[in-house]
Amino acid sequence: MSVTQGIAILPLVILAAFAMGILLINVFSRNPKDEKIGYIALTSMIFVFLSLFSFLGKSGISFGGMISVDIYAIFFYLVFVVIGTLTILASISYVKTTGIQSGEYYALILFAMIGMMLMASSTNLVMLFVSLEMMSIPIYILAGFHRNEARSIESSMKYFLLGAFASGFFLYGLSLIYASTGSTSYQAIARFLSNTERLDLSTLMWIGLAFLSVGFFFKIAAFPFHAWTPDVYEGAPTSVTAYMATGVKAAAFAALVRVFFTAFPLFQHDWTSIMWLIAVLTMIVGNFTALVQKSVKRMLAYSSIAHAGYLLVALVAGNQIGRSAILFYLMAYAFMNIGAFSVLMVMAKKNDYHEDLDSFAGIGFKYPLTAVAMSIFMFSMAGIPPTAGFIGKFYIFSAAVKSHYYWLAIIGVLNSAVSVYYYLRVIVYMYFKEPEGEIPDYRFSVPAVLSIVLAAWGVLQLGILPQNIMAIAQHSIKALM
């Protein structure tokens, strides 16, 4: 059954309406830091989730072939709803503690999510670029939301300047592909390439594909376009870092998979040869640099680089289980990453964010439930059963082995073993390290606790009963075939 244009953009319209409504409420509100604005933003997530049921049994392309509503897009819509819900829950008390102006903050989160959703459903390179900028510009602003802190302003400027260069590469690559194929539609590009001999392909086509890849690699923080990640993640507000590390990465991979397997499937051997090397270097750089970090937030930033490498392993594998593993892992990564950052947000105080390892010394006994939750997130990121991270890595490395990328799988497993050290180091500090002074009293608001509990539940649920989400992921990938 086809889908009408109104239904195709229903979740986007809901997000836009709530975002603009929040801005209006903030204008006339006497208290710009009112927690009620956070609950309004949270309500938008409920409405977006309910709107997804209008897509059941329907699929099609709308707006002149620009947007596709299929099970693949719907899966990522669900991922973004999970990310948005957990981020907003964790933010409600965090923005109050740190003095962030909540109205603009929540509006920008919703506007960025519109871009993320469009990236997952775009079937045209022009629409993809527009949605990329719709996502990126609010994130640039959010990264500098601690306006009185030098490191936050530096974070925003670095991300903006480097992001502008990456967008330039992306747009230039788009134009070269258009000049070579005469179209920006994924399907039209694929048809053109299937009817053209490889020797007849112009150099512009290959350069365009390379430049397009640069834009993607920057957004997923893959080597050698990863250097911005630790500084931007550390300087941005912790809630924004959680949103960037999960939402931006999920949106970029959603677009990357759709573009490469829909528009350029005939050249899979060519681009996987390069991505093989990039995946290896991304894992190595991310994991080995994380080993020496004293800041937990910075460690998680390098960790996110390593996780991008794991996801690229699945992309290189290229088989159905590998593509499905990307979707499953992004869902699992959302739970464990936002959960870890939520713990950091609970520990934060104004002008003192407790992000170094020493801040975790001894909290395992004073705050046992918080320590247990953090342990679950660390175990999951390390890939220890029975967590979602273990199942996700199992699917990824299994896909590499089935596609005969044995060395890639071995390197991936060894890198995962290296990561165990710096993840378990956090747990060691919580339970076996004596605090240097008195452990501060942390405030546990209901939304923050709910965010941590839901994240821990998601990590264990996907780790113990992964078959349902994996089945949906496999069904989603078939929609691209």
CA distance readout (Å), 285 to 279, 290, 295, 328: 10, 8, 17, 24
CA-nearest of 475, 325, 467, 477 to 398 is 325
- Identify the three-state secondary structure at position 56: coil
Q: Decide if 79 contacts 333 (C-beta within 8 A).
A: no
Query: Which pair of structure tokens corresponds to residue 222?
Result: 């893959």
- Identify the three-state secondary structure at position 295: strand
Token pair 């949605």 is found at 131
- Helix intervals (H) in 183-319: 186-194, 203-220, 228-235, 238-243, 249-262, 268-290, 296-317
H helix count then E strand count, the chain: 21, 2
Count of beta carbons in the 10 Å neighbourhood of residue 49: 17
Q: Residue type for 188, please?
A: A
Residues in the chain: 481
Each residue's pLDDT, cut to its tens digit, for the chain (481 residues) gives 455 666 778 889 999 999 999 888 887 776 656 678 888 889 999 999 998 888 776 777 777 778 888 888 899 999 999 999 999 998 888 887 777 766 788 899 999 999 999 999 888 899 999 999 999 999 998 888 877 777 778 888 888 888 888 888 999 999 998 888 888 888 888 888 888 766 556 778 888 888 988 888 988 888 888 888 888 888 888 888 999 999 999 999 999 999 988 888 877 777 788 888 999 999 999 999 988 888 888 899 899 999 999 999 999 987 888 889 999 999 999 999 999 998 888 887 655 556 778 888 888 888 888 889 999 999 999 989 889 999 999 999 999 999 888 998 999 999 999 999 999 998 998 888 877 777 777 778 888 899 999 999 999 999 999 988 898 888 888 877 6
Give pTM, 2 decimals.
Answer: 0.92
Q: Decide if 244 contacts 236 (C-beta within 8 A).
A: yes
Cα within 13 Å of Cα(181), Cβ side: 29
CA distance 168 to 369: 46
